[in-house]
Amino acid sequence: MRTSILLLALATSSAIAAEERPEDRWNLGDMYASVAAWDQDAAKLEAQLKAFAACRGHLGESTARLKSCLDAFSDFNKRYARMETYASELLSEDTGKPESLELQEKSHALGAQLSEATAFLRPEVLKLGRAKVEELLKGDKSLAIYAHAMDDIVRMAPHTLDARGEGIVATFELSSGAAGNTYRIMSNADMPWPTVKLSDGKEVKLDQSAYTHYREVANRDDRKRVFDAFWGKWKEFERTYGVTLTEALKKDTVYTKVRKYPDTLTRSLDANRIPPSVYNTLIAETNKGLPTLHRYFRLRAKMLGIPAGEMRYYDIYPPLVESTLKYSLDQAKTMTLDAVKPLGEDYGKALRTGFENRWMDAYPRPRKQSGAHMAGSAYDVHPFVLMNFNDNYESVTTLAHEWGHAMHSYYTNKSQPFINSDYATFVAEIASTFNEAMLLEDALKGAKNDDERLLYLGSALEGIRGTFFRQAMFAEFERDIHARVDKGESLSGKKLSEIYGEILRRYHGEKEGVVKIDDTYTVEWAYIPHFYYTFYVFQYATSIAASSQFADAVLKGQPGARDKYLKLLSSGSADYPYELVKAAGVDLASPAPYRAVVGRMNRVMDEIEAIEAKRNRK
């Protein structure tokens, strides 16, 4: 379900926004007036699932029978998508409310029931065979909306079990996230966070939120203290996190064998029919682009006043440009609306509607979920955006990012029937990073001075480093460790740190004298939650590469570029994601998009160096 598109870098804040207005809180009542109304829909869903059992063994009896079963399937999945979104977002707005946690647990249990109740569908369709399915679909034009979904089932024939086997696999859904859940509880609730004393005498408890804040402080010695204490604590639990992640990898290998795939990478990508060449080309081209990343680190060292060859891993987070500029929520909305004007009046009107009708929960509050995300699965309602806006430019880019997701859901839900309204992450992150690219270009045009330009350019550099190079680095690590477990190799926390450390040092140019990395910091893999979402992070890197090309084409006014992009946003899952992106003009199995984003990074650095050179001449 497309219920939560996570922002990669989760910015946290415990401050309460003094200026919060009622219109700055979302209105979940657009989905359900109350939990009692949700419970009524839950009863309807359970009744629908019981009735759906009558379809078992009868899908191929006639076109009419197939239609009634598929329509029922679509309807109760649509109902559950709204229910799951409501339960999830009710908890997001107050994570300490027991009643909301209970509702989410009820939602998860219903999801498991749904999986079990529908487990027979795929093997039964497969038993009918492609020829019979196509014959039934041709019997009623209204069934055309199911053609892609049926094709997606039929093509998986070599990897699908019989009804009994699929039912058994479905029962394992209740424990499928055990390793990830253990990680989340351990890393968020049970870790004995260290306390560090800073140079000004202040003592700070370094939980994850404090770490993301204090790793950016100006005092270099304090940054080292923060890194040493934070990663030292993770190092103490290296064995535990090694067991947890290895268990997740083993479970993936079991599913790979059950589904009869040669390796987990192929199985994972085949869920959306993404060619493995996309993944492998990304990593190959990223490695070719490492001199550009190293150029960035050298530029960063120079701008931070760090002597050549002395940059350390704890120097990669402080902002390149210190800025006192503040942006109100209303300013951020206006900047985003101005930035997306090249997409046309309809896009801007839809975005403004969302801003004005409480589709967003904007400000941080105690116990509110940290970070930012978009929930777009309430098909007959509208998307919902969660943020923790804190008045800086990063918050402006986050707003543009999340509303890129929201507009993607808006256009897809508007254009596609529910059965085709979901979309893959492979496409999702294009919509968000496209908006970031548009925001940058518009902000640069309106910059009042070089300091402001440097703020925007520095933010863009960090975006490319964090979204392209860092995620590709994670992807390379993930490919390596999955391949090892697929081949039967045993892993430990120590071994995982060795594997991650080699990749980390290569990406940061340690041999070239660019960035020095202490052994303790190589336990960073244990901190990354995305490794529990099999082969997920690579899509951030492919998406920013694709969106860079799309944004460039739209901004240049290339004929048809805007229409192709909006068609991509409107396509949902009407086709496979790689094919949709390719039809819009970008082939992510080719080197071109990755070379384009590397080229963009070089151009940004050219402009920064030109500004710095001008200042030095004065």
Residue 138 lies in a domain: yes
pLDDT for position 4: 38
pLDDT for position 316: 96
Q: Are residues 170 and 303 in the same domain?
A: no
Q: Are residues 164 and 289 in the same domain?
A: no
Chain CA centroid to CA 247, Å: 23
pLDDT at 328 over 70: yes
Residue 242 lies in a domain: no
pLDDT at 385 over 60: yes
pLDDT in tens, 465-482: 999 999 999 999 999 999
Residue 590 lies in a domain: yes
Residue 552 lies in a domain: yes
Residue 527 lies in a domain: yes
Across the chain, what does the average pLDDT equal? 93
CA distances from 367 to 117, 175, 390, 573 (A): 35, 27, 16, 35
The domain boundary, picked from 116, 148, 178, lies at 178
Residue 142 lies in a domain: yes
How many whole angstroms separate alpha carbon 320 and alpha carbon 313? 15
- pLDDT above 70 covers a percentage of the chain that reads 96
The domain boundary, picked from 144, 178, 212, lies at 178
Residue in 402, 429, 436, 476 annotated catalytic: 402
**Among this protein's residues, is 93 annotated catalytic?**
no
Residue 374 lies in a domain: no
H helical segments located in 259-289: 264-270, 276-288
What single DSSP character describes residue 274?
Answer: -
The domain boundary, picked from 147, 178, 209, lies at 178
pLDDT in tens, 42-61: 999 999 999 999 999 999 99
CATH number, residue 135: 1.20.140.70
H helical segments located in 423-560: 425-446, 450-464, 470-486, 493-507, 538-555
- Full DSSP string of 288-314: HTHHHHHHHHHHHHHHHTPPTT--BGG
Residue labelled with tokens 């940061």: 508
Strand partners, 385: 360, 374
pLDDT in tens, 419-432: 999 999 999 999 99
| Six token digits for residue 424 | 């893959």
Residue 161 lies in a domain: yes
CA distances from 337 to 300, 354, 562 (A): 31, 11, 16
- What is the pLDDT averaged over residues 246-257? 94
pLDDT in tens, 216-247: 999 999 999 999 999 999 999 999 999 999 99
CATH number, residue 595: 1.10.1370.20
The pTM of this model reads 0.87
Q: Are residues 326 and 470 in the same domain?
A: yes
How many whole angstroms separate alpha carbon 118 and alpha carbon 169? 12
Q: Are residues 161 and 298 in the same domain?
A: no
Which residues touch 287 (CB under 8 Å, ≥6 apart)?
Answer: none
What is the count of structural domains for the chain? 2
For residue 165, the enclosing domain spans 27-178
